[in-house]
Amino acid sequence: DAGVIQSPRHEVTEMGQEVTLRCKPISGHDYLFWYRQTMMRGLELLIYFNNNVPIDDSGMPEDRFSAKMPNASFSTLKIQPSEPRDSAVYFCASSLDKTGTDTQYFGPGTRLTVL
């Protein structure tokens, strides 16, 4: 298996632009998580999906952030409009998680820089 795939790996954009981050989970995993990693706050959960349905989006910073999972093999995290404080590494992770204890497998991350 290729593991969790994220694209792009690096994104540099200007303030006010729309940014879309993409994630392909491991096939067969029915949980998908979006995390953001910053120096100040560490690794924090933004949103997670179960069977393509958003379950908990309480970590999404504000209305500028939105996430979708149109099917079991694809999810997007969109920031519109982007701001410099959104600069961070965004990780996607997936898990099988039938028991609530299964390991989460992380993608390589997308490093976002907003100028």
Partner 1 sequence: ILNVEQSPQSLHVQEGDSTNFTCSFPSSNFYALHWYRWETAKSPEALFVMTLNGDEKKKGRISATLNTKEGYSYLYIKGSQPEDSATYLCASLRGGRRALTFGSGTRLQVQP
Rounded CA separation 76/88 (Å): 16
Rounded CA separation 115/104 (Å): 32
Terminal Cα-to-Cα distance of the chain (whole angstroms): 36
Considering the complex, state which of residue 74 and residue 106 has its C-beta at the smaller distance from partner 1. 106
- By CB under 8 A, tell whether 2 contacts partner 1: no
Judged by CB under 8 A, which of 26, 48, 60, 65 binds partner 1?
Answer: 48
- By CB under 8 A, tell whether 107 contacts partner 1: yes
Rounded CA separation 91/35 (Å): 5
Considering the complex, state which of residue 30 and residue 81 has its C-beta at the smaller distance from partner 1. 30
- By CB under 8 A, tell whether 34 contacts partner 1: no
- By CB under 8 A, tell whether 98 contacts partner 1: no
